[in-house]
Amino acid sequence: MPVETNEERYLQKIKRRHEEIAKLIYSNVTPIEGVVMRETEGFERYDEAINAPGYKPINTGDWWGGGLNSGWFKMSFELPKSFEGKPAVALVDVGFEGLVYLNGEPFHGIETWWHKEILLAEKAEAGTRYDLVIEAMYNWAWIQSYRGKKAQFKQAEIATINREVDSYWYALGFLHALASALPEGSVRRARLIRGMNESVNAFDLDNTDEQSLKESAERAMAILKPLFDQKAEPSALTATCTGHSHIDVAWLWPYSETIRKCSRTFATALRMMERYPEYHFSQSQPQLYEFTKERWPELYSQIRERVKEGRWEPIGCMWVEADTNVPSGESLVRQCLFGKRFFMDEFGVETKVLWLPDVFGYSASLPQILKKSGVDYFTSIKLLWGNQFNRFPYSSFWWEGIDGSRVLAHFPPHGDYNTRVHPEQLILAQRNYKEKDRSNHILFQFGWGDGGGGPDRTHLENLKLAKDLEGLPRCVQRKGAEFFDDLAKEASTFPVWRGELYFELHRGTYTTQSKTKRINRLAELALRDAELLSSVAFALGSKYPQDAINGAWKLVLKNQFHDVIPGSSVPDVYVDAASDYEKAISTANDARKEAASFLASKIDTSGDGEALVVFNTLSWERKGIVSVQLPGSGRWSVTDYRGVFVPSQISKDGKSLSFTANVPAMGWAVYHLINRASEEVDSDITAAVDLLENKFYRIKLDSDGLIASIWDKCAGREVLPEGERANLFQLFDDRPNDFDAWDIDVHYIEKCWNVTDLEDITVDEVGPVYASIRLKRRFGGSSVDQRIVIYADVPRIDFITHVNWNEKHKVLKVRFPANVNSETARYEVQFGSVERPTHKNTSWDIARFEVCGHKWADLSESGYGISLLNDCKYGYSADPKSLSLTILRAPTDPDPTADIGEHDLTYSLLPHQGDWVDAGVVQAGYELNVPLFVLPESVHEGNLPARYSVVELDMPNVILDTIKKAEDDESLIMRLYESNNKRGVVTITTELPIRKVVECDLMEREIGNVSLCEGAISFEIVPFEIKSVKLSV
């Protein structure tokens, strides 16, 4: 055993005395008799629960719960005479979390770890009766391995607090922690130890009646007082300390339990505010406030009063603390729009801080979205907490996005968001602050979180002691927004970080729970189409279903929370998410159909046969495949609005017909389905089990069904390197060191199996519109059924894929090598794209072995390249000569069956001349994801032409992404972005009845005039700029 120093011995002695004094804080401890409880499987409201039958006695030490049972506890008591005039508390521990109702009102949260003390009265009146009802839950129950576990009813007592002992205990503990954190041999540490030792010697542990304890504590505290009189050094930083509770909107529990977590956390925060006048509490996520408003109106009204008082700060501009990798650009805009508007409407507060402490990386598009949403500041701790390869170099810095927009960012240097107010943490924060050479301010969030809870008495008592104390930063309790306003005054020389804030961990979240990611994209795009067509219909006289569409958006935004869409929640969460998404998609589809029907009723559909109105919601003219169900047997064919036959192809089952439609930008074209044979069409599409060929490519397959050659006829070159195979599925062992659902670790690549076994290959369909072959493969317990499709007029090679996935701890990728040489690959992100290295030269490059992209990734050398498109995937990997798309993972924690089952996806290969800009890869990605859609319509005349473009743009690099009705008036909002890193003047031509055009920010506030001349709207746009204009119609 090492020899102890004199200081260590005395610190150990003081610690022991501190533990003994803890037992003397409460006097007159009295058990609460006659406690009864009942268990219920459902979530009940108070009035329902207290009147229900089935309550039974329960004693401390008994176990309750198990499964998904909640517990309702009832206890009543009167304060005895010994409580008169003293602080009276109830001490309750039900074994996990609960909400305490006091005399019928939601009053206080309790947890088995932190909050057990419920203050009943500061000056008790003997004989006062209290009725406590507690709704409790064993919150790990949704984790399958915990499903059968029970909670133990541990404590139910009332007591009085010896205030002087209580205060002394906190003071002694705080100074002991400070001394322990200071360097050995320091003057301050030595004097603290000496003073504390004298103090504990002055505390009489033998005479423990209330009066003797009061005198002891006062005597011992007087000795400590000079130690608290030593003020912080002149150069000490100022720590803005704001109470906070990180409440995961869903994670190891479903949304229904989060609603209850809100009540516990918020009730506790309100009670702490009554006890601590300096306490400030910052709470993010409007979704949580809406939960509370709907379920706990009594608490919500108290929150509004505290916001008005200035001590409760609604913070964080997003509807939830959203993932920023997977959601679309418009989703991130709506997160800010809905989030900020809620706080302004409910509390009159405009938050200018993006508060995302726990999100798994931050898109390079975010700075611009934030600035154009009126958000100037950003805070997180995640890159400090978990980066695997590189230490992030800054604490306070300017974060610059792909367009050049900047926001002021601060990563709290203590590196945690569930922080204790503890000298060790405060010293760490000051020591770790990278910009302390030029800045005096740091942010210190404190309070228990993830599952809620918030600050407890220890946090707040310690802050009273830490205000201005030698050895620590100065601590002030105030709003997070006030911290950022002060930080901004110091920020002129802060460093700049440009581009994405890539998180070197949790790379598996680009892929895990793939069904949720797929349905999220479907919902985003369904809402896009619904809003666009509803806007056009609205401009022409129809109603706009704003409430329904906004309601659908809120369901989507909720499920973009950073533990839901990334795939790191328990199974019940994904059941809820699927239901939410289905509702959102149904709402969007109904709105789209209603708007399209309104427009179709006004379109001239004259001609022979059944009219087919084909809509294109993209902002460029395009060719695409349209399929329609046939009304019965016959020799069906298709003509355009002029009566000219269009090549068509009846499916092999005879139930549908496909044709290539050519539809103008943001418009429609009328075709007709006729029961008459079409004219003979020469077709250059051929298909065999080892060959697919059209006017674009000659594709050869080997005996394993792998692509051995792609000859690009237009470019006159081979796409694949010699001897390589494309469309190669690869199965890797996927066993991360720590976080199963979250992580793909760098070593996954060490164990790889190429999936080459071919069960079957057949020619599927051949015709003048498309040709396909079908392959079936088996590996492990899984199978792939895939159609490889080529088209007469579309230069994509589509891989329409169905996977029956039954693996554990495996990751499935598909690889496409390319006969190119590129040190970088480009990936689509929200409202733009980013370039990342394909080599491993530095640790920063190695860390990006798995990256996030949206609808496409591109690998090009000068003059040629390939793009890999997809309709629902987000994980990619690359090297200088290949691109791989991550298809599926198979983690088992926290969801033991994550992704097991049936999956549908399409990915596409687009070989091209030139680079990604020359090839129109941005447009190709949209076209795969936003197909043309057809609406059968009766034949009639109309005042709208059969072929019509509602909106046209003269710059192909500018994408019209969104048209929607404005939130506050009858205007339309049109949102565009520059996609190719190119500046210029764009002109939008439209036949919509526009009276006035102004530029607006993403909050739809007017910020400038826009030229409007005879239906032409013109403005300048810079690289990767998001531009929103408001149209008065």
Name the residues annotated as catalytic. Answer: 358
Helix (H, G, I), strand (E, B) or coil at 250: coil
C-alpha angle with apex 922: 919 to 924, nearest 5 degrees? 70
Spatial CA neighbour of 29 closest among 136, 154, 159, 156 = 159
- Which of 54, 146, 135 is closest to 97 using CA atoms? 135
| Residues linked to residue 824 through DSSP beta bridges, in sequence order | 837
Neighbouring CB atoms inside 10 A of 881's CB total 17
Largest CA distance in the chain: 109
Q: What is the DSSP string of 744-800?
A: --GGGGGSEEEE--EEEEEEEEESSSEEEEEEEEEETTEEEEEEEEEESS---EEEE
Residue whose C-alpha is closest to residue 618's, from 651, 677, 661, 558: 661
**β-strand partners of 978:** 958
Measured in residues, the chain has a length of 1033
Are 797 and 790 in contact, with CB atoms under 8 Å apart? yes
Residues pairing with 778 in the sheet: 783
Is 358 in contact with 456 (CB distance < 8 Å)?
no
Listed in sequence order, the residues at least 6 apart from 1025 whose beta carbon sits closer than 8 Å to its beta carbon are 368, 403, 977, 978
Separation CA 37–CA 55 (nearest Å)? 5
Beta-bridged to residue 876, according to DSSP, are 851, 885
Q: In what order do the strands lie in the sheet with 88-93?
A: 26-31, 155-161, 88-93, 117-121
d(CA 41, CA 1009): 59
Cβ atoms 80, 434 nearer than 8 A:
no
Nearest to 100 by CA among 147, 144, 134, 143: 134
Coil, strand or helix at 25: coil
d(C-alpha 38, C-alpha 603), whole Å: 64
Pairwise CA distance, residues 599 & 593, whole Å: 10
How far CA 707 is from CA of 499, 689, 692, 962, in Å, comes to 36, 11, 10, 38
User: What's the 3-state SS for 820-837?
Assistant: CCCCEEEEEECCEEEEEE
Question: Omega into 566 within 30° of 0, i.e. cis?
Answer: no
Q: Distance between CA 694 and CA 1022 in Å, rounded? A: 39
Torsion sign over Cα 260, 263, 269, 272: negative
- Helix H or strand E segment including 124: none
**Count of helix runs (H) and strand runs (E) in the chain:** 19, 60
Closest CA to 846 of 803, 879, 814: 879
Q: Which residues contact 847 (CB under 8 A, 6 or more apart)?
A: 387, 388, 389, 390, 502, 504
Three-state secondary structure call for residue 317: coil
CB of 421 within 8 A of CB of 458?
yes
Place of tokens 């859609």: 933
Judged on CB neighbours under 10 Å (0-12, 13-18, 19+), 505 is: buried
Strands 353-355 and 377-379: parallel
Q: Determine the 3-state secondary structure of 355 from DSSP.
A: strand
The amino acid sitting at 136 is: A
∠ CA 966-539-987, nearest 5°, is 80
